[in-house]
A and B are shown apart, each in its own frame.
Chain A
Amino acid sequence: DSGVTQTPKHLITATGQRVTLRCSPRSGDLSVYWYQQSLDQGLQFLIQYYNGEERAKGNILERFSAQQFPDLHSELNLSSLELGDSALYFCASSSRGLALLGNTGELFFGEGSRLTVL
């Protein structure tokens, strides 16, 4: 158990709909990362938050948005869903979001939310 909790574990919805994925980081971790993993694909970085602020952005579509709340949990909102958005969405957390010496880069991943768009 990594200590990172993601809900829901599975979600089936239709094209054009909107969904929200939720992530609770490990206790004490300030950084949250979102990754997308499509079938037989690697992990695509979407976005990083540190203590409520956006820190880094990857290939996140304009239809997607995220935020990190004061209690450090994060939500990823996916709207106007398309078939190609079907994927596993992982949340990960780490204790350090700053470029400090000793930042191991170690991310602790949740079990993922599997989104199926029909």
Chain B
Amino acid sequence: GQQLNQSPQSMFIQEGEDVSMNCTSSSIFNTWLWYKQDPGEGPVLLIALYKAGELTSNGRLTAQFGITRKDSFLNISASIPSDVGIYFCAGQVRTGTASKLTFGTGTRLQVTL
């Protein structure tokens, strides 16, 4: 099935470093979302983007909706140990009364002290 290409697949960084990850697709999406999954838990929404070019922040997190509507970026500044987890991008397409959310392959983030 369709999946978004997310990179990098994994990252090992030191506490305090900034992190950048991105998501690309061959399809256009109406909405881009970023989720985080902690071990043993379901994904939790971090940021939602609704317009092409939109830049939105949530604390140390900043995400952008690409101009082409085919990509999105997530940045985490000054990483801390609790940032560890898997980050998923998701693109939403609304057609009629159906709303389909397609997830990226995930970026696994490890933070070392």
Chain B contact residues: over half helix, strand or loop, or mixed?
strand
- What's the nearest-Cβ distance from chain A to residue B86, in Å? 9
- B1 to chain A minimum Cβ distance, whole angstroms, is 4
In chain A, positions 2-21 with a C-beta closer than 8 Å to chain B are 2, 4
B42 lies within 8 A of A48 (CB)? no
Contact between chains at B43 and A99 (CB < 8 Å): no
Among B41, B100, B101, chain A packs the most CB atoms within 10 A around the CB of B101
Q: A106 in the interface, Cβ–Cβ < 8 Å?
A: yes
Are the C-beta atoms of B100 and A48 separated by less than 8 Å? yes
How many A residues, CB 8 Å from partner?
Answer: 32
Contact B42 A99 (CB under 8 A): no
* Chain B interface residue number, banded: 20 to 34
A44 touches B1 (CB 8 A): yes
Let me know if B44 and A55 touch, CB within 8 A. Answer: no
With most chain B CB atoms within 10 A of its CB, the pick from A105, A110, A111 is A105
Question: A41 to B98, alpha carbons, bound, how many Å?
Answer: 25
Which of B12-20, B73-81, B102-110 lies at the interface with chain A?
B102-110
Whether A50 contacts B42 by the Cβ 8 Å rule is no
A105 B1 Cβ-Cβ under 8 A: no
Residues of B within 8 A of A (CB): 1, 3, 6, 31, 33, 40-45, 48, 50, 88, 90, 92, 94-106
Residues in A lying within 8 Å of B, measured CB to CB? 2, 4, 31, 33, 35, 41-45, 48, 50, 55-56, 58-59, 90, 92, 94, 96-99, 103-107, 109-112
